[in-house]
């Protein structure tokens, strides 16, 4: 008995201390070398061997903070969380921000818990932390992977300087429906573009070394099918076939896994009847086993518990059983794992090996972040003061913003404006709006901190230019509920107060050109912001009509987070600038384009319809057995609208013009193991330097499953001086041509292929080639 007492008092703690020293040693390692990976695995195993069941379960628990950990708890729920933290029964916190609060929360674990396993702190850093970049859909319009990577790197640096080490981004859901509010958070309708942009963002967040103090863990979401919700409704059911899942939805996630993304997040929706959170086929079988991915999966907010509402779990205990068995590693805010996993283990409904696998995955990321070496490594008040919202970061945000703008229409070369223009009217509810440009999911961006359009125009215009400003109308009506939490409450639109339109008309009469700033409020898009109407809400059409009567020289400066129905305005006004929600430097970036200091180069990552009735709308449709025919009605189209887009995927104008010619293939026939080179000459036929996004599309004409009429398979952004020509080449190989076939595997099938290269998805410049066995 005496020996047992001595063992408990001295020997066991000594063993723990030695093991802790083992995994907390500061051995120098470089990047993700095999030596480093092997070293981390040994450390993970040594920690796991020390852990009790309650501590293992605790690593699978993520709480949302929101309280001041430096002061007294504000509620019974907060006290529960604080108690769990001290016991080492929490693995992660989200929505805890500032170095002081994060440091204190980490201290609760490090000074009170038995094993002192550090927390990982997460936040929704979607398009910037405090320096806000364009919404992801807007940034994707740049088709510039380098600046997209750079913007994520800035967001990571600011987040890390503020104590954070994990973001729930990028969203890589392919989304084809403009009604879905969360379309603003992704890269649009195309699988290939989503994959390329998703990887760029992951590399920006995570850098070359996840243990660097300037990088944070990324999260590929939402796994899977979230962007295909029926009727464009958020959280809705997803009914797709196996081939659509593999060919359209999963490739960006496979690219993310191959790029080494640290975490995945599952999605709220069901996929053909199985909630994604409880989908073993997706999470455990495909992601973890077939793809051999070694990060961890976090549930979306409360999605484990929501399987009850789905009708897939009878209660929260059953939901916890389903989720862990399916491979969902961390429970975000369902409180299901902490409440029931130990009972489920004792009952044999989940296994210790499943629990250990989940714990090891979470520990592995914490080691890779360097949190075991220094739990407070991200908590440096000096960095928080100097590296957040710096001039350097704002300059980068301006560069990204101007490259995200898409020129949709420019009849009579209305744009660019001369800086010597005598008068400009800046009109509209978004004209001096400093908040909507921040968009939804604006991290820690401060309310009303963006540069407005009016401010940008005033700063860029000649001092002798007369600038008239009138708001004209309010788009929304403030409400008490929205004032408390704009994110959670619906907007109320102004449909009655038009008193300001008269002053706006007087301003328009006096100006040579009108910049009309209309579109969507920042909170019209984002999570839960689905709409059946994608036109102009409130009194915006009334304002446009009144201005148009007195001055037809109008540039629509469009502020929005989704494709909008522009069918009416595109017939009226000579010029339309798609400006999205551009972030902190919005007004300056728009002014750069308006005055020609930057020639717009953006291209649409998503199609704009003639009517909302076309949604979901996307360029890479299937041909059907009755393709479009304008000679009679029995075809796959509409009687009252075109089948095609008003502004198609990949479309965007410039202040110069580009011509394509001399499309060549290095061979007209190749075998399955060969590759072919496609080249085209691109010429700037205008008078100013410009950037063009050269796009490659391919069609597999006959296959074991029906293939789309055209698919993006490559793109390159090229800068051309006036009169300059460049030859742009693409390599087509097995990876380019493969698809998930009727044989339920990725392969290239012999047959005939068409190839197009041009400036958007409607390009006609075509060649054909054959693949033989």
User: For the segment 256-299, what is each residue's pLDDT rounded down to a tens digit?
Assistant: 999 999 999 999 999 999 999 999 999 999 999 999 999 999 99
Beta strand extents in 618-750 (DSSP E only): 658-665, 669-671, 676-684, 690-700, 711-720, 725-732, 739-740, 746-747
**Residue position matching structure tokens 């796009």:** 695
Residue 24 has pLDDT above 50, yes or no: no
Tens digits of residue pLDDT in 533-553? 999 999 999 999 999 999 999
Give every CB contact of residue 185 below 8 A, 6+ residues apart in sequence: 126, 135, 136, 137, 171, 440, 441, 526, 527
Angle of helix 316-326 relative to helix 352-369, nearest 10 degrees, comes to 70
Strand partners, 10: none
pLDDT over 70 (residue 482): no
pLDDT digits (tens, 9 = 90+) for 318-333: 999 999 999 999 999 9
Instruction: Answer for the pair 271, 231: CB distance below 8 angstroms, yes or no.
Output: no
Q: Is 28 exposed, middle or buried (0-12, 13-18, 19+ CB in 10 A)?
A: exposed
The model's confidence at residue 32, banded by pLDDT at 50, 70 and 90, is low
Q: What angle do CA 671, 672, 673 make, to 5 degrees?
A: 95
pLDDT higher than 90, residue 631: no
Predicted pLDDT of residue 259: 98
CA 723 – CA 466 distance, rounded (Å):
36
Q: What are phi and psi of 515, to 5 degrees?
A: -95, 105
Residues shown for the chain: 773
Sheet architecture: strand order including 725-732? 658-665, 676-684, 725-732
> Residue written as tokens 């009506």?
477
Give 61-93 as a DSSP string: EEEE--S-TTS---SHHHHHHHHHHHTT---EE
pLDDT (average), residues 729-743:
98
What's the pLDDT at 431?
Answer: 98
Residue 340 confidence (pLDDT) above 60: yes
747 pLDDT above the threshold of 80: yes
Enumerate the β-bridge partners of residue 345.
none
Return the CATH number of the domain spanning residue range 397-614.
3.40.50.1700
- Within 10 angstroms of residue 317's Cβ, the number of other Cβ atoms is 17
User: Which pLDDT score, from 0 to 100, does residue 97 have?
Assistant: 84
Residue 147 in 3-state DSSP?
helix
For residue 629, name the pLDDT band (cuts at 50, 70, 90).
confident
Confidence bin at 10 (pLDDT 50/70/90):
very low
Nearest to 254 by CA among 324, 190, 198, 175: 198
Separation CA 656–CA 649 (nearest Å):
20
Higher pLDDT pick, 140 / 68: 140
What pLDDT sits at residue 479? 77
Residues with Cβ within 8 Å of residue 80, at least 6 apart in sequence: none
Question: Quick one: pLDDT at residue 70?
Answer: 54
The pair of three-digit structure tokens given for residue 189, joined into one six-digit string: 């309708």
CA distances in angstroms from 564 to 142, 218, 338, 611, listed in the order given? 19, 30, 44, 9
Taking 60 as the threshold, does the pLDDT of residue 484 lie above it? Answer: no
User: What was the pLDDT predicted at 86?
Assistant: 96
CA–CA gap between residue 181 and residue 185 (Å, rounded): 9
Lowest mean pLDDT segment, chosen from 10-14, 72-76, 495-499, 586-590: 10-14
User: Hey, CA dihedral for 570, 573, 574, 579, is it positive or negative?
Assistant: negative
Q: What is the mean pLDDT of residues 459-472?
A: 97
Average pLDDT over residues 43-53: 98
Tell me the mean pLDDT in the region 481-509.
87
Q: Does 169 or 26 have the greater pLDDT score?
A: 169
The residue written with tokens 């059946």 in the block is 532
Topology of the domain comprising 658-772: Immunoglobulin-like (2.60.40)
> How much is the average pLDDT of 64-87?
75
Q: Are 209 and 367 in contact (CB under 8 A)?
A: no
pLDDT per residue as tens digits for the range 113-160: 999 999 999 999 999 999 999 999 999 999 999 999 999 999 999 999
**Taking a C-beta distance cutoff of 8 angstroms, is the pair 122, 94 a contact?**
yes
Give the tens place of pLDDT for each residue, 394-439.
Answer: 999 999 999 999 999 999 999 999 999 999 999 999 999 999 999 9
Per the CB < 8 A criterion, the answer to whether 284 and 327 are in contact is yes
Q: Where are the domains of the chain?
A: 397-614, 658-772
Residues 6+ apart with CB under 8 A from 707: 622, 699, 700, 701, 739
The values of phi and psi at residue 118, to 5°, are: -65, 155
Token representation of residue 93: 């916190």
d(CA 593, CA 591): 5
**For the CA atoms of the chain, what is the radius of gyration?**
27
Asked if residues 395 and 438 have their Cβ atoms less than 8 Å apart, the reply is no
| Catalytic annotation, residues | 300
Distances (CA, A) of 659 to 119, 593, 687, 724, 758: 55, 22, 13, 11, 9
535 three-state secondary structure: coil
pLDDT at 490: 87
SS3 54: helix
Measured CA to CA, the distance from residue 189 to residue 225 in angstroms comes to 13
Is the fold of 397-614 the same as that of 658-772? no
Quick: pLDDT tens for 198-246. 999 999 999 999 999 999 999 999 999 999 999 999 999 999 999 999 9
Reduced to 3 states (helix: H, G, I; strand: E, B; else coil), residue 396 is: helix
Q: Indicate the pairing of strand 746-747 with strand 739-740.
A: antiparallel
* 8 A C-beta contact, residue 631 and residue 392: no
**Residue range 382-386: mean pLDDT, rounded:** 94
How far apart (Å, rounded) are the C-alpha atoms in residues 438 and 709? 37
Measuring CA to CA, which residue among 363, 359, 349, 286 is closest to residue 320?
A: 349
DSSP string, 29-49: --TT-HHHHHHHHHHHHHHHH
Q: How far apart are CA 27 and CA 522, in angstroms?
A: 47
Work out the end-to-end distance of the chain between its first and last CA atoms, rounded to an integer number of angstroms: 77
Mean pLDDT of the chain: 94
Structural contact between residues 118 and 372, judged by C-beta atoms closer than 8 angstroms: yes
In the chain, what percentage of residues exceed pLDDT 70? 93
């Amino acid at each position: 008995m005496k020996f047992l007492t001595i063992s408990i008092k001295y020997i066991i703690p000594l063993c723990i201390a030695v093991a802790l020293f083992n995994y907390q040693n500061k051995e120098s390692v470089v990047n993700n070398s095999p030596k480093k990976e092997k070293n981390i695995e040994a450390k993970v195993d040594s920690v796991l061997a020390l852990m009790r069941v309650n501590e293992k379960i605790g690593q699978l628990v993520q709480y949302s903070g929101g309280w001041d950990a430096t002061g007294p708890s504000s509620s019974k729920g907060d006290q529960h969380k604080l108690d769990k933290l001290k016991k080492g029964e929490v693995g992660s916190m989200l929505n805890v921000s500032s170095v002081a609060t994060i440091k204190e929360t980490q201290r609760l674990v490090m000074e009170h818990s038995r094993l002192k396993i550090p927390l990982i702190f997460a936040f929704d850093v979607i398009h910037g932390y405090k320096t806000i970049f364009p919404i992801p859909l807007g940034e994707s319009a740049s088709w510039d992977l380098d600046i997209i990577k750079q913007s994520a790197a800035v967001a990571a640096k600011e987040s890390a300087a503020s104590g954070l080490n994990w973001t729930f981004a990028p969203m890589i859901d392919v989304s084809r429906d403009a009604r879905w509010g969360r379309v603003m958070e992704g890269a649009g309708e195309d699988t290939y573009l989503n994959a390329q942009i998703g990887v760029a963002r992951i590399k920006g967040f995570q850098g070359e070394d996840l243990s660097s103090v300037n990088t944070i863990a990324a999260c590929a979401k939402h796994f899977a099918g979230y962007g295909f919700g029926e009727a464009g409704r958020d959280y809705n059911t997803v009914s797709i076939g196996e081939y659509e899942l593999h060919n359209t939805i999963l490739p960006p996630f496979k690219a993310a896994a191959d790029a080494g993304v640290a975490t995945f997040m599952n999605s709220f929706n069901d996929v053909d009847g199985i909630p994604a959170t409880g989908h073993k086929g997706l999470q455990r079988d495909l992601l973890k086993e077939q793809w051999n991915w070694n990060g961890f999966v976090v549930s979306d907010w409360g999605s484990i518990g929501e399987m009850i509402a789905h009708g897939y779990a009878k209660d929260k205990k059953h939901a916890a059983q389903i989720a862990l068995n399916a491979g969902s590693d961390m429970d975000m805010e369902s409180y299901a794992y902490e409440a029931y996993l130990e009972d489920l283990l004792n009952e044999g409904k989940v296994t210790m090996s499943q629990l250990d696998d989940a714990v090891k995955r979470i520990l592995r990321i914490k080691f890779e972040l360097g949190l075991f070496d220094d739990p407070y490594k991200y908590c440096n008040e000096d960095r928080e003061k100097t590296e957040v919202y710096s001039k350097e970061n704002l300059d980068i945000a301006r560069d990204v913003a101007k490259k995200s703008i898409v020129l949709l229409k420019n009849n009579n070369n209305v744009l660019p404006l001369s800086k010597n223009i005598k008068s400009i009217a800046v009109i509209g509810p978004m004209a001096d709006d400093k908040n909507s440009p921040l968009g939804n999911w604006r991290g820690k961006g401060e309310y009303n901190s963006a540069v407005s359009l009016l401010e940008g125009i005033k700063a860029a215009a000649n001092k002798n230019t007369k600038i008239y400003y009138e708001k004209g109308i309010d788009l929304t009506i403030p409400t008490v509920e929205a004032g408390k939490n704009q994110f959670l409450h619906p907007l109320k639109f102004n449909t009655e107060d038009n008193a300001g339109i008269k002053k706006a008309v007087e301003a328009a009469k006096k100006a040579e050109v009108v910049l009309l700033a209309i579109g969507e409020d920042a909170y019209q898009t984002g999570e839960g912001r689905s709409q059946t109407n994608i036109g102009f809400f409130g009194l915006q059409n009334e304002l446009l009509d009144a201005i148009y009567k007195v001055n037809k020289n109008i540039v629509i400066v469009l502020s929005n987070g989704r494709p909008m129905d522009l069918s009416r305005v595109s017939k009226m006004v000579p010029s339309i600038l798609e400006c999205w929600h551009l972030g902190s430097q919005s007004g300056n970036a728009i002014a750069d384009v308006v005055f020609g200091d930057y020639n717009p180069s953006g291209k649409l990552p998503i199609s704009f319809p003639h009517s909302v009735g076309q949604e979901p709308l996307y360029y890479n449709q299937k041909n059907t057995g009755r393709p479009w025919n304008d000679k009679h009605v029995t075809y796959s189209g509409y009687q009252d609208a075109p089948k095609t887009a008003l502004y198609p995927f990949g479309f965007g104008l410039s202040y110069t013009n580009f011509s394509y010619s001399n499309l060549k293939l290095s061979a007209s026939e190749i075998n399955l193991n060969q590759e072919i080179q496609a080249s085209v000459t691109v010429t700037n036929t205008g008078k100013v330097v410009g950037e063009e996004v050269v796009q490659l599309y391919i069609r597999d004409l006959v296959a074991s499953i029906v293939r789309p009429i055209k698919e993006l398979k490559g793109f390159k952004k090229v800068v051309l001086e006036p009169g300059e020509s460049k030859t742009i080449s693409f390599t087509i190989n097995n990876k380019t041509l493969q698809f998930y076939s009727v044989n339920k595997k990725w392969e290239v099938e012999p047959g005939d292929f068409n190839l197009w290269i041009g400036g958007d998805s409607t390009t006609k410049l075509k060649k054909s080639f054959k693949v033989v066995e």
